[in-house]
Amino acid sequence: MSLKGSLNRLEQLPPADKKLPAATTPVAIRASAALFERGGGIASPLVETAYASRSWHPAQTLTSTDGVFTFSVRFIKTLGMTDANGAGVALEFKDKP
């Protein structure tokens, strides 16, 4: 069959009559009892234990986009917190790349 014949055949085919499946009610997702058990996790609010308990990454010099100003900045490395249950929480932050 020629290209012209193939194109004519495609043009003459009636559009496919596709139907969507009938709508159904989705099955309920049951909550696991383990999700509601106490224990594990962090209870808010978190409260910082002491400013002195912070540790810092080495100081870095940042320059403004126009190059006029420079700033010496120290980013927090670790931060000690206490949650509502009195458990200690350590937050660890990466250094700026």
- Kindly tell me if the per-residue pLDDT of 80 is higher than 80: yes
Model confidence over 47-77: pLDDT tens digits? 998 999 899 999 999 999 999 999 999 999 9
Full DSSP string of 33-62: GGGGS--SS-PSPPEES-GGG-EEPPPEEE
pLDDT given for residue 23 in this prediction: 86
Note if the bond before 15 is cis, omega within 30 degrees: no
Rounded Cα distance, 47 and 80, in Å: 9
List all residues 6 or more positions away from 91 whose beta carbon is below 8 Å from its beta carbon: 78, 79, 80, 81
pLDDT given for residue 18 in this prediction: 81
Looking at the chain, the whole-number percentage of residues with pLDDT higher than 90 is 42
pLDDT given for residue 95 in this prediction: 86
